[in-house]
A and B are shown apart, each in its own frame.
Chain A
């Protein structure tokens, strides 16, 4: 597995999809920042300590990060077929189930890193604007929330990555489906029960963005675990054929 993980991260060198994801993260952070500069009744949201770090989580997730992570995950899985490297890998031989697990782990790491990048951007801006109003507890609270966002979003979108990889219809489809899937989160967030159940908003219940009861947190955990279960079933179906390999 170590070899496969090393190979997967090597394969991402100079990948345009990594740069697309980083660029998208920076851009969404910039757009939210500009949104915070707009005055409402003579008050600017950006002047409130913690607003930027707090609001960036759901907005970036719903509009950009979940879709970009799904795009990258599907690309990582689909590329072996599309770039015709699967034959060479089969002849090593590489166990396709392990290969897919390695690819999913890389996507998970990437998802967390994107959220940590967003955290760094929002924290630097907050520190620059009102350093004295930030407490260590607040900053570490947000750091934990962003980390859980990265982890949770990967779990929430894992069935889409698996499904698109199985359909072999190209990774851009993952972007479109996930964008729609995330956008529904805007509406489910209006109901207490639905927001705990719907995978995208369930992430925020777990990360602490929403004030939630223990039962809601349990419901959200179950929702995300169900997503992982779906993904595992789809990927297991894809990899049924290969055994006896590295």
Chain B
């Protein structure tokens, strides 16, 4: 039995001859916030649409709550709340009237569901303002309110902070974090803003040109891209053996035959150099590095990085 709420296997989408999504294997764990990070047009929305069954899959599989969603929409959709792209509502109705329609169609049992959802996103209940008069930020908030209206277990949010002011972004972030931490909801959120994902997500998937370049926990990513010692030696395997035996080092990673990263920066480098030299391992260089997440993203996405 898998612990993944969403799992995609070799998920691929072709638009004509163009591969919008290319063999993506995504794993969203229960109760965690998964941030899908990528530039505009990277394929984030297409992946979310395929997960929700809103667009056809060219090849590959999507499992939601452990099973394929196709043909089980009636059972699965009530457990999901989603915003895909800009949320659409009826322009001639107020926010409350719009949500009342969706609540009724969903058969939402809670009598105060609309009021509660609007309160959570900071929109007034029974307000007279029509949706057509809403600002982009208000529209986005109403979209979030609609997504949480029926208290779903899984939230799929495609750039939910688009158009929000900085305070609004912080509020939405806190609210999503609370949903995950306090109420155990699973969240898949996409964004092209690195800082937003790094402040919110527990796990991260980096997508570029339809390819999932990296998938790991934020903790792991931070560890890999914080302070480290970059050691350039003549023989990496011999060097790691010495470091493990003589210094009890476990927190390191090997990059090629000559380069390794040591994440324990408190290590006495003079002693390390001496030990390596004694065992005939030449130390070509050693330097203390400090990569930011942005540096890392810039590197793996091929130079342009992410905002």
Residues of A within 8 A of B (CB): 3-4, 6-7, 10-11, 13-16, 79, 83-94, 244-246
B100 contacts A by Cβ under 8 Å: yes
Flag if B74 contacts A83 (CB, 8 Å): no
Residue of B nearest to A10 (CB): B101
Q: Which residue of the partner chain, among A4, A14, A93, A94, contacts B92 with CB atoms under 8 Å?
A: A14
Q: Which residues of B contact A88 (CB under 8 A)?
A: 87-89, 102, 146
Between-chain CB contacts (< 8 Å), 16 pairs = A3-B104, A7-B101, A10-B93, A10-B97, A11-B90, A13-B93, A14-B93, A16-B92, A83-B90, A83-B91, A84-B88, A85-B88, A87-B84, A87-B88, A88-B88, A91-B80
Flag if A92 contacts B71 (CB, 8 Å): no
State how many angstroms separate the Cβ of B73 from the closest Cβ of chain A.
5
Flag if B89 contacts A83 (CB, 8 Å): yes
**Once bound together, how far apart are the Cα atoms of A13 and B80, in whole Å?**
29
Residues of B within 8 A of A (CB): 52, 54, 71-74, 77, 80, 82, 84-93, 97, 100-102, 104-107, 130, 146
Q: Which residues of A contact B105 (CB under 8 A)?
A: 3-4, 7, 89, 92, 94, 246
**Once bound together, how far apart are the Cα atoms of A190 and B279, in whole Å?**
111
Q: Which residues of B contact A13 (CB under 8 A)?
A: 92-93, 97
Nearest 7 CB-CB pairs, A to B?
A84-B88, A85-B88, A14-B92, A93-B73, A7-B101, A93-B77, A92-B105
Residue of B nearest to A12 (CB): B92
**Once bound together, how far apart are the Cα atoms of A76 and B79, in whole Å?**
29
**Once bound together, how far apart are the Cα atoms of A14 and B101, in whole Å?**
15
State how many angstroms separate the Cβ of A3 from the closest Cβ of chain B.
6
Known: A11-B101, A244-B72. 18 other contacts (CB 8 A): A3-B105, A4-B105, A7-B105, A11-B92, A13-B93, A14-B92, A83-B90, A85-B89, A87-B54, A87-B84, A88-B146, A91-B52, A91-B77, A93-B73, A93-B77, A94-B105, A244-B74, A246-B74
**Once bound together, how far apart are the Cα atoms of A87 and B89, in whole Å?**
10
Flag if B104 contacts A7 (CB, 8 Å): yes
Residue of A nearest to B73 (CB): A93
Residue of B nearest to A2 (CB): B104
Q: Which residues of A contact B104 (CB under 8 A)?
A: 3, 6-7
Flag if A14 contacts B130 (CB, 8 Å): yes
Q: Which residues of A contact B80 (CB under 8 A)?
A: 91
Q: Which residues of A contact B84 (CB under 8 A)?
A: 87
**Once bound together, how far apart are the Cα atoms of A89 and B88, in whole Å?**
10
Q: Which residue of the partner chain, among A11, A15, A84, A92, contacts B77 with CB atoms under 8 Å?
A: A92
